[in-house]
Protein backbone atom coordinates (compact mmCIF):
# COMPACT_ATOMS: atom_id res chain seq x y z
CA UNK A 1 0.00 0.00 0.00
CA UNK A 2 1.30 3.47 -0.79
CA UNK A 3 2.22 5.52 2.23
CA UNK A 4 0.71 8.91 3.04
CA UNK A 5 3.61 10.81 1.48
CA UNK A 6 3.30 8.91 -1.83
CA UNK A 7 -0.44 9.59 -1.94
CA UNK A 8 0.16 13.29 -1.27
CA UNK A 9 2.79 13.48 -4.05
CA UNK A 10 0.37 11.83 -6.51
CA UNK A 11 -2.38 14.26 -5.53
CA UNK A 12 -0.09 17.30 -5.77
CA UNK A 13 1.09 16.13 -9.21
CA UNK A 14 -2.51 16.04 -10.44
CA UNK A 15 -3.17 19.46 -8.92
CA UNK A 16 -0.09 20.94 -10.57
CA UNK A 17 -1.15 19.57 -13.96
CA UNK A 18 -4.68 20.89 -13.48
CA UNK A 19 -3.92 24.31 -12.01
CA UNK A 20 -0.39 25.27 -12.98
CA UNK A 21 0.16 23.52 -16.32
CA UNK A 22 -3.33 24.41 -17.54
CA UNK A 23 -4.24 20.91 -18.70
CA UNK A 24 -7.87 21.55 -17.78
CA UNK A 25 -8.08 24.82 -19.75
CA UNK A 26 -9.43 22.93 -22.76
CA UNK A 27 -11.56 19.82 -23.15
CA UNK A 28 -8.81 17.91 -24.99
CA UNK A 29 -5.41 19.44 -24.26
CA UNK A 30 -3.43 16.87 -26.22
CA UNK A 31 -5.76 16.74 -29.21
CA UNK A 32 -6.79 20.37 -29.24
CA UNK A 33 -4.45 21.78 -31.86
CA UNK A 34 -6.51 24.97 -32.04
CA UNK A 35 -5.81 25.63 -28.34
CA UNK A 36 -2.09 24.96 -28.75
CA UNK A 37 -1.98 27.14 -31.87
CA UNK A 38 -3.80 29.96 -30.04
CA UNK A 39 -1.30 29.81 -27.17
CA UNK A 40 1.59 29.76 -29.64
CA UNK A 41 0.18 32.76 -31.53
CA UNK A 42 -0.29 34.68 -28.26
CA UNK A 43 3.29 33.92 -27.19
CA UNK A 44 4.62 34.94 -30.61
CA UNK A 45 2.64 38.22 -30.54
CA UNK A 46 3.93 39.13 -27.07
CA UNK A 47 7.50 38.21 -28.00
CA UNK A 48 7.31 40.35 -31.15
CA UNK A 49 6.01 43.32 -29.12
CA UNK A 50 8.99 42.96 -26.78
CA UNK A 51 11.45 42.65 -29.68
CA UNK A 52 9.94 45.75 -31.32
CA UNK A 53 10.27 47.69 -28.07
CA UNK A 54 13.94 46.68 -27.73
CA UNK A 55 14.54 47.76 -31.35
CA UNK A 56 12.88 51.12 -30.65
CA UNK A 57 15.37 51.64 -27.82
CA UNK A 58 18.28 51.04 -30.19
CA UNK A 59 18.91 47.31 -29.75
CA UNK A 60 19.74 44.91 -26.94
CA UNK A 61 22.81 46.72 -25.64
CA UNK A 62 21.01 50.06 -25.55
CA UNK A 63 18.02 48.45 -23.83
CA UNK A 64 20.30 47.03 -21.15
CA UNK A 65 22.17 50.32 -20.71
CA UNK A 66 18.87 52.20 -20.33
CA UNK A 67 17.68 49.78 -17.66
CA UNK A 68 14.81 48.48 -19.80
CA UNK A 69 15.69 44.81 -19.44
CA UNK A 70 16.08 44.99 -15.65
CA UNK A 71 12.85 47.00 -15.34
CA UNK A 72 10.95 44.42 -17.39
CA UNK A 73 12.31 41.59 -15.24
CA UNK A 74 11.37 43.43 -12.04
CA UNK A 75 7.89 44.29 -13.33
CA UNK A 76 7.30 40.70 -14.42
CA UNK A 77 8.44 39.35 -11.06
CA UNK A 78 6.21 41.85 -9.25
CA UNK A 79 3.17 40.92 -11.38
CA UNK A 80 3.84 37.21 -10.88
CA UNK A 81 4.10 37.58 -7.09
CA UNK A 82 1.02 39.82 -6.95
CA UNK A 83 -0.96 37.21 -8.92
CA UNK A 84 0.11 34.52 -6.47
CA UNK A 85 -0.78 36.61 -3.43
CA UNK A 86 -4.17 37.58 -4.91
CA UNK A 87 -4.89 33.93 -5.71
CA UNK A 88 -5.15 34.68 -9.45
CA UNK A 89 -2.16 32.42 -10.15
CA UNK A 90 -2.31 29.03 -8.49
CA UNK A 91 0.89 27.60 -7.06
CA UNK A 92 0.04 24.23 -5.59
CA UNK A 93 1.20 23.95 -2.01
CA UNK A 94 1.83 27.70 -1.70
CA UNK A 95 -1.43 29.55 -2.21
CA UNK A 96 -3.73 26.61 -2.86
CA UNK A 97 -3.77 23.09 -1.42
CA UNK A 98 -1.18 24.04 1.19
CA UNK A 99 -0.55 21.66 4.06
CA UNK A 100 -1.83 22.88 7.41
CA UNK A 101 0.95 21.53 9.61
CA UNK A 102 4.65 21.14 9.25
CA UNK A 103 5.67 18.09 7.26
CA UNK A 104 7.86 15.75 9.22
CA UNK A 105 11.27 15.63 7.58
CA UNK A 106 13.11 12.36 7.87
CA UNK A 107 16.73 13.06 8.72
CA UNK A 108 19.46 10.94 7.26
CA UNK A 109 21.07 8.73 9.83
CA UNK A 110 24.52 7.48 8.97
CA UNK A 111 25.52 3.98 9.89
CA UNK A 112 28.11 4.31 12.71
CA UNK A 113 30.36 1.73 11.07
CA UNK A 114 30.29 3.62 7.77
CA UNK A 115 31.10 6.85 9.61
CA UNK A 116 34.02 5.17 11.38
CA UNK A 117 35.45 3.90 8.05
CA UNK A 118 35.15 7.36 6.50
CA UNK A 119 36.91 8.96 9.47
CA UNK A 120 39.74 6.45 9.09
CA UNK A 121 40.06 7.19 5.34
CA UNK A 122 40.11 10.94 6.02
CA UNK A 123 42.76 10.52 8.72
CA UNK A 124 44.83 8.38 6.35
CA UNK A 125 44.60 11.02 3.57
CA UNK A 126 45.67 13.74 5.98
CA UNK A 127 48.58 11.63 7.28
CA UNK A 128 49.84 10.72 3.80
CA UNK A 129 49.55 14.15 2.13
CA UNK A 130 52.21 16.84 2.05
CA UNK A 131 51.12 18.91 5.07
CA UNK A 132 53.03 22.01 3.96
CA UNK A 133 51.45 21.91 0.48
CA UNK A 134 47.98 21.45 2.01
CA UNK A 135 48.52 24.37 4.39
CA UNK A 136 49.79 26.58 1.55
CA UNK A 137 46.81 25.64 -0.63
CA UNK A 138 44.36 26.52 2.15
CA UNK A 139 46.18 29.84 2.62
CA UNK A 140 45.66 30.44 -1.11
CA UNK A 141 41.93 29.86 -0.68
CA UNK A 142 41.91 32.32 2.22
CA UNK A 143 43.77 34.99 0.20
CA UNK A 144 41.36 34.66 -2.71
CA UNK A 145 38.33 34.75 -0.40
CA UNK A 146 39.61 37.88 1.34
CA UNK A 147 39.73 39.72 -1.99
CA UNK A 148 37.74 39.54 -5.15
CA UNK A 149 39.73 36.85 -6.96
CA UNK A 150 38.10 33.81 -8.51
CA UNK A 151 37.91 31.16 -5.79
CA UNK A 152 37.79 28.17 -8.12
CA UNK A 153 41.50 27.93 -9.04
CA UNK A 154 42.74 28.06 -5.41
CA UNK A 155 40.02 25.64 -4.33
CA UNK A 156 41.04 23.28 -7.13
CA UNK A 157 44.67 23.60 -5.98
CA UNK A 158 43.60 22.78 -2.41
CA UNK A 159 41.79 19.66 -3.60
CA UNK A 160 44.88 18.64 -5.58
CA UNK A 161 46.91 19.08 -2.37
CA UNK A 162 44.43 16.58 -0.84
CA UNK A 163 42.68 19.10 1.40
CA UNK A 164 39.19 17.97 2.36
CA UNK A 165 36.04 19.80 1.36
CA UNK A 166 35.46 20.33 5.08
CA UNK A 167 38.83 22.05 5.45
CA UNK A 168 38.14 24.33 2.49
CA UNK A 169 34.66 25.17 3.79
CA UNK A 170 36.20 25.79 7.22
CA UNK A 171 38.42 28.51 5.75
CA UNK A 172 35.39 30.16 4.16
CA UNK A 173 33.34 29.84 7.34
CA UNK A 174 36.15 31.46 9.34
CA UNK A 175 36.13 34.43 6.97
CA UNK A 176 32.45 34.82 6.18
CA UNK A 177 30.59 32.99 8.96
CA UNK A 178 27.48 30.97 8.28
CA UNK A 179 23.99 31.92 7.17
CA UNK A 180 21.25 31.67 9.76
CA UNK A 181 17.78 32.18 8.27
CA UNK A 182 16.32 33.00 11.67
CA UNK A 183 18.68 35.95 12.12
CA UNK A 184 18.84 37.14 8.52
How many other β-carbons are positioned within 10 Å of the β-carbon of residue 141? 24
> Which pLDDT tens digit goes with each residue over 6-25?
888 899 899 888 888 777 77
Residue 104 in any domain: the answer is no
Same domain, 75 and 26: yes
> Does position 30 have pLDDT exceeding 90, yes or no?
no
Same domain, 66 and 121: no
Q: How many domains does the chain have?
A: 2
Mean pLDDT of the chain: 90
Domain that holds residue 19: 4-86
Residue 96 in any domain: the answer is no
> Which pLDDT tens digit goes with each residue over 90-99?
898 888 888 8
> Which pLDDT tens digit goes with each residue over 64-99?
999 999 999 999 999 999 999 998 998 988 888 888
Query: In the structure, what pLDDT confidence band is assigned to residue 1 with cuts at 50, 70 and 90?
Result: low
Domain boundary among 71, 86, 101: 86
Q: What is the pLDDT of residue 101?
A: 74
Same domain, 119 and 176: yes
Asked whether the whole model's pTM tops 0.75, one would answer no
Mean pLDDT within 59-63:
95
> Which pLDDT tens digit goes with each residue over 132-154?
999 999 999 999 999 999 999 99
Amino acid sequence: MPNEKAVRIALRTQQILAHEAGSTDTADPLGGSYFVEALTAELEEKAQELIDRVQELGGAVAAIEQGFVQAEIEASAFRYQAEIEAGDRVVVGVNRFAEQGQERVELLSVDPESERRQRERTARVRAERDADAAEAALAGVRRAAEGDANLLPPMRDALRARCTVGEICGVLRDLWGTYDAQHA
